[in-house]
Amino acid sequence: MNHAVTPQIDPALLAHLQSWQGKSETTPDTITAAPLRALSATLDRDDPAPHAGTAVPPLWHWLYFLPHARQSEIGPDGHPQRGGFLPPVPLPRRMWAGGRLRWDTANPLQVGQAVERVSTIRSVTHKAGRSGELLFVLVEHQFRNAQGVSLTEEHDIVYRAAAQPGDAAPVPVRPPLDGQQSWSRVITPDDVLLFRYSALTFNGHRIHYDRKYVTEVEGYPGLIVHGPLIATLLIDLLRRSLPQAQVQSFAFKAVRPTFDLHAFSVHGKPSADGKTIELWAQDHEGWLTMQATATLA
């Protein structure tokens, strides 16, 4: 049974949070080789050493443009304190819910390039779900090198209320293509994998490495596998299966949290013409945890 909880976001506060819509910031960075080498090792790949001109693989741009908040600016969850570019949402649990990306395959991000990321808050929306209040922030990122826009990304962030006794768990669903996969791989999400990905993305969010925090404060049963890491593993499965493929677009949605308590699996199935790839992740019980679609150039 759900306990009645007074909403934390009333119309006045929502209007204040929505005043962040349209806010923009520009962040410069240089594409260097070391993060690519490190993620290749973390994903257990045997890639050639990257050098000037090496293209950044799809989703590996998440190794750059990292937030470098000072230690005194870190909040209790390990993230930078609320406010600044993102609105100061009072709901304590923050997750990466999904995203959509489009690449200009003729203008890839490459090692040695100076790149700007222009980020704009497109929308702030409030909903009441089965598990309480939800607030969604949609951020658009454009990545621009000297030749123009190389990548456009829409990033969905969801904020949730604190866990309450009797909260309804997400209704589990089976993958629509369960049993029809052409490719599969089993992933063991141990502490070291989660730590290395957190370190590579300068992600201090304690839900990924602090077991006491994630179980006692946020109420989850174990460490949470990063949504971006699972998305990266889905694309990695595609790249292992079709090494010459050029990904033109990718859309993904986190459906259910994945915890480090058990191995999980990633799967893929190309369409008849080979241009669209359905990708998904499922937990040890077979429940869908992330669903994605890639289109090839």
Residue with the bigger pLDDT between 5 and 214: it is: 214
Cα→Cα distances 73→195, 211, 275, Å: 21, 22, 45
Please check whether the two domains, 1-168 and 170-296, share a CATH topology. yes
Q: For Cα atoms 270, 274, 278, give the angle at the middle one, nearest 5 degrees.
A: 25
**Antiparallel, parallel or unpaired: β 276-282 and 148-160:** unpaired
User: In the chain, what are the domain boundaries?
Assistant: 1-168, 170-296
In our burial notation (b when 16+ CB lie closer than 10 A, e otherwise), range 90-109 reads ebbbbbbbbbbbbbbeeebb
Superfamily assignment of 1-168 in CATH? Answer: Hotdog Thioesterase (3.10.129.10)
The pLDDT confidence band at residue 169, using thresholds 50, 70 and 90, is low
Residue 6 CA to chain centroid, in angstroms? 30
Q: Which residues pair with 292 in a beta bridge?
A: 252, 279
State the architecture of 170-296 in CATH terms. Answer: Roll (3.10)
Class of residue 256 by CB neighbours under 10 A (exposed 0-12, middle 13-18, buried 19+):
middle
Tokens of 196: 């290395």
Tell me the average pLDDT of the chain: 93
- 71-80, 116-125, 211-220, 234-243, range with the lowest pLDDT: 71-80
* Segment 108-139, tens digit of pLDDT: 999 999 999 999 999 999 998 676 889 999 99
Whether 247 has a pLDDT exceeding 80, the answer reads yes
* Segment 139-162, tens digit of pLDDT: 999 999 999 999 999 999 999 887
